Structure 1
Amino acid sequence: MNPDATVAALHALAHQHRLAAFRALVRAGPGGLPVGHLRKRLEIPPATLSAHLNVLRAAGLVGDEREGRVIRVRADFERMYALIEFLTENCCEGASCTPATPAAASAGRPSPSRPSPTGPVP
């Protein structure tokens, strides 16, 4: 992911409702959610959700698909992992990192540990 795309993605996530929508879609998994279900979960007006989804869509973080009368929205996991990879590519100055949380380790995803002021986290 290039720096411009990273800034666009971070900008898109830098709003409470957009971040909540994206997290809900990540929790929903690859199947995503119908827009109506997402709106009910977030408890925001349809026009507001539509505007927020447009920002997330423009940043490449979500995509949607029409299924008859329903529009299903999905998180773009490839783009999400590219963002995480870009943000952590120089973590620990290239040294092997350990998972920061048990949840990251059990999910099988690499997650860099946070360096402490006194040295690497054991």
Structure 2
Amino acid sequence: AYPPEASDRDQWAIARIVGVIMAYNRNILPAEKAPKAWVDLLNPDFKGRKLVIQDSAAGTSFNQMYLLEKQFGADFMRRFGQQEPIIVSTTAQLIDMLVRGEALVGATVDHFRAFEP
């Protein structure tokens, strides 16, 4: 899906690509109740400090919030805010909260962080 101008003579000019995913602790939240799509974060079961996100000062999180608003609109973002997410400074804090069961879903996880031991 890269544009043709991103490659020249088999050399790629991509700085970095990071997938942002949702993560959850399967010991706390059963798989059938885990969100499968971004709009699932609006489920009432995740309201009231059950979602944890990284603050938007982080570039990855800032870009994620920008793209979510572009994709789903300002109403989605307002409703997401009404879920009363927990906001932390770092992905490490977010993962720690999931591991300890202090939140059900981490909604701004760099994909590689979810698989760290």
TM-score by length of 2: 0.28
Q: Look at both structures and tell me which one has the larger radius of gyration over its CA atoms.
A: 1
Q: Which structure dedicates a bigger proportion of its chain to helix?
A: 1
Q: Which structure dedicates a bigger proportion of its chain to strand?
A: 2
Structure of higher RCO (CA pairs closer than 8 Å, 6+ residues apart): 2
TM-score by length of 1: 0.27
